[in-house]
Amino acid sequence: MKQIFAAAALMLAAGSAHADYPAGVVADGLPNIPAELKAETQAYLDYRSATFLGWNPATGGALMYTRFGNVPHLHEVAAPGAARKQITFGGEPVVNASFAPKGNGMMVFSQDRQGDEFFQLYRLDPGAARAVLLTDGKSRNGSPTWFKDGSRFLYTSTRRTGQDNDLYVIDPRDPKTDTLVARLQGGGWRPADVSADGKSALVLKYISVNQSEVHLLDIASGKMRQVTPKGMVSYGDARFAPDGTIYVTTDAEGEFRTLARLDPKTGKTTRVSNNDKWDVEDFGIAPDGSFLAYTINEAGSSRLVIHNLVRRIAPVSPELPQGVISNLKISSTGEVGFSFSSAKTPGDVFSVNPQTLEVKRWTASETGGVDTSAYVEPELVSIKSFDGLEVSGFLYRPDPAKFPGKRPMIIHIHGGPEGQIRPEFQGNYNYLVNQMGIAMFFPNVRGSEGYGKTFLTLDNGFKREDSVKDIGAFLDALAKDPQLDKDRFGITGRSYGGYMTLAALTHYSDKVRAGLEVVGISHFVTFLNNTQGYRRDLRRVEYGDERDPKMKAHLEKISPLTNVDKIKVPLMVVTGANDPRVPASEADQIVQAVRRNGGEAWHFLAKDEGHQFKKKDNLDAQFWSSLMFWKKHLLD
C-alpha cells in the first residue's frame, strides 16, 4: 500500500492528466488513481444492496432496486431466495416505483436526469420494452399515491409555478386524464393516502422537522381542510384504515413520536403505540384492517412491532439482529415486507409473517467476496458537551492486533441537519477501518433525530453554531482515548455534514489534520439565494430567513466562507454539478477562497451527478480520491 500511495503523490506533483477518471469527472488538483489502488480496494467497492419498494399484487413478488451495472434499477424477486429479475434499464437510475393495486403488474416509476431531481413519472406495462411518460418532462413531480382500486393516483407537481407542490390526479392508462385537483402554496405538500371509497385523501404539509399539518382533501371539489391543530407539532405520516379510521405518527403527546388515531372532527389523537422514550418511525395497516405493523427507533436500532387490532393481545416483535428497518409495506395477503441493514449486512429485503413471526430473507446481496462477518460492531460513545448536554456517537475501531498503537481517526458528520447516524452498514468505510487502520467516529450532534423534539430544535436559527461546538467537545473527549492519536484526526461530512466539516475547520484547525466535505454549504446567504425555489422557504425555517437583516448578519458571520482565513489545514471538496439542493457554486467559492489564501484544496466535480451520487464509476473514483487524500494527510 505504501508504494501505491507514493505513486499517487508523484503523479500529483507532476500535475499529470486525469484520463483514468470517469468522463464526467473534473479532477481539479487531484492525483491520478494508481491501478494498484483500484485493484487493492475493488472487493470493498463491489458490494451491492437491495432496497424494498413494495409488493406486486399480480404475482406476490417483492419489488426492489439494486445495482448490477453502473446505476441501480428496479428488480422483482418472485419468492424468498429467488433470482432478481431486472425490470428497468438504462444509464440513469430508477429507485422509486410502485405497482398499481389490484392490477395486472402495471407500475409507475419516477426518474430524473443526471441527479437534477426534477423527477418525471412513467408508466411501465407488463412485458413492455419502453415506459410511457406521464408528466410534462420539465417540472418536478413526485409522491404518486394510488387509489385503493388501482384506477388512478394522486401526485404532486411544480409545473404551475416552478416551486409550489400542487396536487394532480391521473389515470396512468390514459395520460390525457391528468387533472389539477388543488392549487397549493409552498413546496412541503404531499398526498399521504386515499380513502377506501376514493373520495377523500390525506395530505401532509411539511413546514419544518418540528412542525407539520394533516389536511383532508375532497378529491372531486379540490376543497381541503386542516384536521390537526395549529402549533408546533409534527406528523410524520397519515393513513386510512379500511373502516375509515385515520392513523398518524406524531409527537403531539410528548417528546417522542408515537402512533395514534386521529379524530378528524376534533384534531385530537389517541395513542396506540407503547413507546415512552423512542420514536415510531414507519407504520403500515393490514389491507383487512386486522393489524398494524410499525417500527420504533430504539437508540438507533429498529424494533418491529405487530399490533393486533382484532384480538386483545399484547403487541409482539419478531427476533431480528441489531440493525435498521426501513420501507415497511404490507402485502395484500398480510406479509410485512421491509429493508434491513446492519453493521455486517449491506441491505436486503426481508419479510415477517404477522401470525407466526417467521422471518424470511428475500435477497442475499453480494459483498464483493469480503467476509462481512469480520466487520467490527460500533461502540456507543456518550459525552457531555460544552453546556452539559449529553451527545453521543458510534465509534468503529480498527483491530488492535492488526494495527497496534494509537490510530488516526476520521469524524464523519451526518446530513439533514436532522439526520441520525445509526448502526447500519458503512459501505466502503470498512476499508479505512479494516485495511488502513483508521478509526471512524459518527456523531449525533444536537439537532439530530431520535432524541426527542426538544433536542431537534437545539441547533435552529441563532443556535446553529452550538452543534459545531459539539464537534469540538467530541474532539477534546476522543483526544483522551488511549487508542487514538489526537495528532492525526480528520473531519468529513456530506450535505449539512459538509457545512459542519467546513465550520469545524474554521474553529478547530489546530485539532485536526485535514477536512473532506461533500456537497456542503459554504455560505448560508448564497445557499438560500441559489437553492431551488421549491426548497427555499423550507430551508429558511431551519437555517434562518436571510431577508431579516438581523438573521442575515448572523448567517454572514457564521458562514465558513466568511471565516475561510481560519482554515489552516488541507481541504478536499466533492461536488455534483446538477445539485438542486446545494448548488455547485457553494463548492466553487470555498475552493477558490482557500487557494487564494495559499491553502491546499482538492476539488472533485462530477458533471453528471446531483446531490446524491448514483453512478458507480463516479462513486468509485470519489472513494479512491478520498483514500489518497486521507493517506497523505493522516498516515504519512
Which tens digits make up the pLDDT trace of 144-198?
A: 999 999 999 999 999 999 999 999 999 999 999 999 999 999 999 999 999 999 9
What local confidence, expressed as pLDDT, does residue 418 receive? 86
Residue 10 clears pLDDT 50, i.e. is over it: no
For residues 316-336, average pLDDT = 95
Q: How many beta carbons lie within 10 A of that of residue 300, not counting itself?
A: 21
At 636, list the grid cell. Answer: 504519512
Cβ distance 127 to 152 under 8 Å? no
**pLDDT tens for residues 442-479?**
999 999 999 999 999 999 889 999 999 999 999 999 99
Residue 346 clears pLDDT 80, i.e. is over it: yes
Q: Considering the entire predicted model, what is its pTM?
A: 0.92
**pLDDT tens for residues 98-118?**
999 998 899 999 999 999 999
Its sign, for the CA torsion 11, 12, 18, 24, is positive
For residues 554-566, average pLDDT = 97
As a whole number of angstroms, the distance between CA 393 and CA 378 comes to 9
Spatial neighbors of 248 by CB under 8 A, at least 6 apart, are 214, 228, 235, 236, 237, 238, 239, 259, 260, 261, 262, 269
Confidence category of residue 7, pLDDT binned at 50, 70, 90: very low
Q: Which of 443, 449, 457, 461 is nearest to 501 (CA)?
A: 443
Residue 310 clears pLDDT 60, i.e. is over it: yes
What local confidence, expressed as pLDDT, does residue 18 receive? 58
Residue 6 clears pLDDT 50, i.e. is over it: no
**pLDDT tens for residues 484-516?**
999 999 999 999 999 999 999 999 999 999 999
Residue 11 clears pLDDT 50, i.e. is over it: no
Confidence category of residue 384, pLDDT binned at 50, 70, 90: very high
As a whole number of angstroms, the distance between CA 350 and CA 52 comes to 8
Instruction: Quickly list DSSP for 149-192.
Output: TSS-EEEEE-TTTSS--EEEEEETTEEEEEEEEE---SS-EEEE
What local confidence, expressed as pLDDT, does residue 16 receive? 35
Its sign, for the CA torsion 246, 539, 230, 187, is negative
Within 432-513, strands assigned E span 439-444, 484-494
As a whole number of angstroms, the distance between CA 570 and CA 584 comes to 20
Cβ distance 145 to 193 under 8 Å? yes
What local confidence, expressed as pLDDT, does residue 364 receive? 95
Residue 73 clears pLDDT 50, i.e. is over it: yes
Cβ distance 251 to 258 under 8 Å? yes
For residues 323-334, average pLDDT = 96
Please state, rounded to an integer, the average pLDDT across all residues of the chain. Answer: 94
Residue 19 clears pLDDT 70, i.e. is over it: no
Residue 137 clears pLDDT 80, i.e. is over it: yes
For residue 372, give the DSSP letter. Answer: G
**pLDDT tens for residues 393-435?**
999 999 999 999 999 999 999 998 888 998 888 989 999 999 9
For residues 525-551, average pLDDT = 91
Q: What percentage of the chain exceeds 70 in pLDDT?
A: 97
What crossing angle do the helices spanning 616-630 and 35-45 adopt, rounded to 10°? 120
What are the strands of the beta sheet with 279-285, ordered from one edge?
279-285, 291-298, 301-308
Confidence category of residue 1, pLDDT binned at 50, 70, 90: low
Query: In 3-state terms, what secondary structure has residue 110?
Result: strand
Residue 3 clears pLDDT 70, i.e. is over it: no
Residue 573 clears pLDDT 50, i.e. is over it: yes
For residues 552-575, average pLDDT = 97
**pLDDT tens for residues 213-271?**
999 999 999 999 999 999 999 999 999 999 999 999 999 999 999 999 999 999 999 99
